[in-house]
Structure 1
Amino acid sequence: MAELRAEVLVLGAGMVGVGAALHLQSRGRDVIMVDRQELAGEGTSFGNAGIIECASVFPYMFPRDFGEILRYALNRAPQVRYRLRDLPTFAPWLLRYFRASSPKRALHSAMAELPLIRRSLVEHEALIREAGVPELLQRNGWLKLYRSEPTLKAALRDFERARQYGVEGDILDNAAIRLREPHLSGDFAGAIHLPAPAFVPDPGGLVKAYVALFRRKGGRFLAGDARTLEQASRGWRVSIEQGAVNAREVVVALGPWSDLVFERLGYPIPLGIKRGYHLHLAARGNAVLNRPVLDADQGFVLAPMNRGIRLTTGVEFAPRDAPPRPVQIERALPKAHGLFPLGEAVDARPWMGARPCLPDMLPVIGRAPRHDGLWFDFGHQHHGLTLGPATGRLLAEMMTGKEPFADPAPFAVERFG
């Protein structure tokens, strides 16, 4: 069996793992990236709305409004879905999520992540230039639609708060909505257009383009099983199809599957899962969607992907590996057809993925305290596509002894004991 060697082994070839691998490589490290899939970007990074959300100051925290909580609890909100029999599996995590979402702690999370959010688009632009795929970045921003006065009023309060941190946007009436998106239908209380965020019309393709860049620069990408990771005499060892890889240091960037490694090594990290679904549909006739559009009241996003119009859902709380239950897609479809002229489905069935979340909605980034050479980079909640290259820079700076561009302390695993 072949025994390959590298300085750093990165486990996971989604946007987060690829971001870390590229930044380590650019700082002179010999890196091997290992994933269970032979193609990169086939897991969580494949399914999202494609938005590089550089205007998202405040993370998705647990709501504090009792009426909203009650609607979620009764499964009456399209944004959230669960089955009662699954509740015991995620209720303890939800309680931690609720506690971490107090106004004081939520603001702490927002301010900790803000330097990463602000860096996100800059990092992507640099990598996209180097990878030579400018067609995978569009600059039309995205649109948030509100059908009722109460939801618009709440959104405007949040928008005014975000403006304090440099977020820019336009408040639109129905006429202004039609100017930006002539093929949308419906009566709306209003909308907010955020022009700064960029859009990626093929998120999985962008990950693959970054991996191609990694390989052109001498990196190696191999198929293997992260569950075989073990400490070796000179670092860490993992099995691959051709034999094994040995490296002095290892980065766990496995997203929702990171627990397969850290639990076995004795780290009590409260990793939770928010599942989500998408389905691609053709546009009817000459209808065009110019940017991603959120229907806030109905709980879905339409995004103009290369494959078709991608309908994405909100959150399903369920065990990560439970069979798919695309109820949210089924319920959103007629509403999506009413919003935009959609034709037949392009996909044979809805796609399902899992968002890796910590209760405070901050990732774990940094050194594992009880194992030399072990590093963590996972738990990016709804912002894996957005933050992967930025957190890759932060991690690489920490691993190579450089001054981090952001304070890494809020992301340390020690915050969980």
Structure 2
Amino acid sequence: MKIAILGGGIVGRSIALALAGRGARVVLVDDGDMAAASWGNAGHIAIEQGAPLASLATIASVPRRLFLRGGAVALPPRMAGAWLPFSLRLALAARPARFAAGTHALGTLLRAAAPAWQRLAAAIDAPTLLALDGHVVAWESGATATAGRAAWAAAPIGTASLRDLAAGELATLRGLAPAVAGAVRFDGTGRIADLGRLAAALDAALARAGVERVTQRARLIRDGRRVAIEGVAADRIVVAAGIGSRALLASIGWRVPLIAERGYHARFAPGDWPAGQVPVVFEDRSLIVTRYADTVQAAGFVEFGRAEAPADPRKWRRLEAHVAALGLPVGPVASRWMGVRPTLPDYLPAIGRATQVDDLFYAFGHQHLGLTLGPLTGELVADLVTGATPAADLAPFALERLTGRLP
């Protein structure tokens, strides 16, 4: 039996590696786009983010968080045709009963995410790429610090824990960002030391496992209950192509309400930012700063729209202005990036098996948690495809919850 994985991000590569580890013949089909969100994210293993962003609280916060008011949420008028229908679906998903169910379902995955990352890091012979040493959330005023602490204390953070920074820790943080008024430290969360090295380690492990690689833009063809890939022979197919999954499934008649949630980052020369510093979230600015091997990255923004639309340079200028205003001791800008998070209206991933066609599986829509949940998703999908019982209940992540059955 030959299994084709469509998509080479962290989710797709994790699935391919997990299946190869079970003895399957695997072909990984990908267009080779290293601008995908897997390779430009904040490097944060975010097991504390147990509340889906499809919530009444999120909806209430949008007006004050709009980009035009200095915030991090962008709803470009020229892309209203994409984000307006999505917003209506999000509002339905934010109803209290659905939010509670989503929180429970997401929590089951996040509790297993860190151990899955440890297993993957060992499998790719790169244990030093993973550090489960936590992160810091900081605020710039006493009022926002008080409100932020209270919000996180009440949030479903799963197996993570949080505490106030000790006086010495706070003084060290203020040495990096003098404007900080208060901060908390999360323990149990993690980070990836370098995304480029992660991609290389995954590729080396896939090669050792005998995974075949095909670089092309995939196209699905449907004939009744049978689905095939144009130009690639496979007995079973897993769609794990991030935002590209929408077009792939549309080609066989399955319309998926997946939106391009675009994020931006700017990378700086390291300057005096410490090599061992854990990620710091400056919550008042919706900004996360991460030290990688040879660069410091500032990332932010949720811009809803179309994947193919040009990047908005104002977002990079805003990121760079935040870094300057905070007084962060970094060097000059080294690079800029915009990438697309694949997001479904209820902010839960789609993980499962199609019921109306044979041998078609899917894993996409991980929104801000693709890096966090990639290795676990790989294990769960490998179980599904090989007929084993997955370690988590995947019923809440069935795509049919949003689309109905495939015609």
What TM-score results when the alignment is normalised by the length of structure 1?
Answer: 0.89
Distance 2:341 2:308 in 1: 12
1:42–1:221 CA distance, 2 compared to 1 (3 A): farther
Matched, 1:44 2:37: yes
Q: Quote the Cα distance in structure 2 between the aligned partners of 1:215 and 1:63.
A: 46
Change (3 A) 1:81 1:393: same
Name the CA distance, whole Å, in 1 between partners of 2:292 and 2:122: 20
Cα shift at 1:233 = 11
Equivalent runs, 1:223-262 vs 2, <5 Å: 223-227=215-219, 229-231=220-222, 236-239=227-230, 244-262=231-249
Letter in 2 for 1:145: A
Counterparts in 2 of 1:287 and 1:53: CA distance versus 1, 3 Å:
closer
Please say if residues 183 and 341 of structure 1, whose CA atoms lie closer than 8 Å, have aligned partners that are also in contact. Answer: no
What does 1:236-385 align with in structure 2 at a 5 Å threshold?
Answer: 236-239=227-230, 244-285=231-272, 290-337=277-324, 338-347=326-335, 350-385=336-371
Q: Cα 1:178–1:107, aligned 2, differ >3 Å: closer, same or farther? A: farther
CA deviation vs aligned residue, 1:170-219 (integer Å, no higher than 9, x gap): 1237753223x363223334212112111112224313312321220111
Aligned to 2:97, which of 99, 104, 112? 104
Whether 1:70 and 2:63 are equivalent positions in the alignment is yes
What residue in structure 2 maps to residue 404 of structure 1? 390
- Contact 1:93/1:272, CA 8 A, preserved across alignment: yes
Which one is further off, 375-384 or 63-72? Answer: 63-72
Q: In 1, are the aligned partners of 2:47 and 2:157 still within 8 Å (CA)?
A: no
Q: Partners of 2:7 and 2:59 in 1: how far apart?
A: 39
Does 1:190 find its partner at 2:182? yes
Counting aligned pairs with the same residue, the percent is 32
1:297 maps to a residue whose letter is: D
Deviation at 1:380, TM superposition (A): 0.4
Alpha-carbon distance between aligned partners in 1 of 2:390 and 2:58, rounded to the nearest angstrom: 37
Output the CA distance in 1 between the equivalents of 2:7 and 2:272.
Answer: 40
Query: Deviations for 1:107-164, whole angstroms, at most 9, x for unmatched residues?
Result: 2112101121111121111121121112312233111111234433333233223468
Whole-angstrom distance in 2 between the partners of 1:379 and 1:174: 40
Distance 1:59 1:399, change over 3 A: same
- In structure 1, the residue matched to 2:120 is 127
Contact 1:61 1:106 in 2 (8 A): yes
Post-superposition Cα deviations, 1:313-345, rounded to whole Å, max 9, x if no partner, equal: 121122110011132221121221234112211
* Larger displacement relative to structure 2 (283-292 or 122-131): 283-292
**Counterpart residue type for residue 304 of structure 1:** R
Structure 2 portions without partners, runs of 5+: none
Report the AA paired with residue 9 of structure 1: A
Alignment partner of 1:390 is 2:391: no
Structure 1 residues 267 and 237: alpha-carbon distance in aligned structure 2, compared to 1, 3 A threshold: closer
CA distance in structure 2 between the aligned counterparts of 1:46 and 1:168, rounded to whole angstroms: 27
Amino acid at match of 1:219: V
Q: 1:196 is matched by which residue type in structure 2?
A: G
Query: Residues 257-280 of structure 1: CA distance to partner in whole angstroms, max 9, x if unpaired?
Result: 111211111112211121011111
3-state SS of paired residue (1:329): helix
Structure 1 unmatched runs, 5+: 1-5
Structure 1 residue 81 displacement after superposition: 1.8
Q: Is the 8 A contact 1:174 1:187 kept in 2?
A: no
Count of residue correspondences: 402
Q: Is the 8 A contact 2:132 2:188 kept in 1?
A: yes
| Cα offset, 1:253, TM superposition | 0.4
User: What residue in structure 2 maps to residue 221 of structure 1?
Assistant: 213
- Contact kept in structure 2, 1:22 and 1:214, CA below 8 Å: yes
Amino acid at match of 1:392: G
For the aligned residues, what is the CA RMSD? 2.4
* Contact 2:136-2:186 within 8 A present in 1 as well: yes
Query: What SS is found at the alignment partner of 2:131?
Result: coil
Mapped contact 2:290–2:297 kept (Cα < 8 A): yes
Aligned-pair CA distance for 1:403: 1.8
Structure 2 residue 164 is matched with structure 1 residue 177: no
Q: Distance in 2 between matches of 1:55 and 1:49?
A: 15
- The secondary structure found in structure 2 opposite 1:346 is strand
Partner amino acid for 2:144?
A: T
SS in 2 for 1:269: coil
Taking the TM superposition and a 5 Å limit, the aligned residue runs for 1:92-171 are 92-162=85-155, 165-171=158-164
Q: Which residues in structure 2 correspond to 1:3-22 (within 5 Å)?
A: 7-22=2-17
Question: Partners of 2:169 and 2:208 in 1: how far apart?
Answer: 45
Whole-angstrom CA distance in 2 between matches of 1:43 and 1:177: 35
What are the within-5 Å matches in structure 2 for residues 82-93 of structure 1? Answer: 82-93=75-86
What's the TM-score once normalised by structure 2's chain length?
0.91
Q: 1:163 to 1:45 in 2, by over 3 A?
A: closer
In 1: Cα distance, 2:57 partner to 2:65 partner:
12
Deviation at 1:234?
A: 11
Judged with a 3 Å threshold, the aligned counterparts in structure 2 of structure 1 residues 385 and 224 are, in CA distance, closer, same or farther, namely same
Q: What residue identity is the alignment partner of 1:139? A: L
Distance 2:96 2:134 in 1: 28
Distance 1:66 1:54 in 2: 22
Amino acid at match of 2:331: G
One-letter identity of the residue aligned with 1:344: P
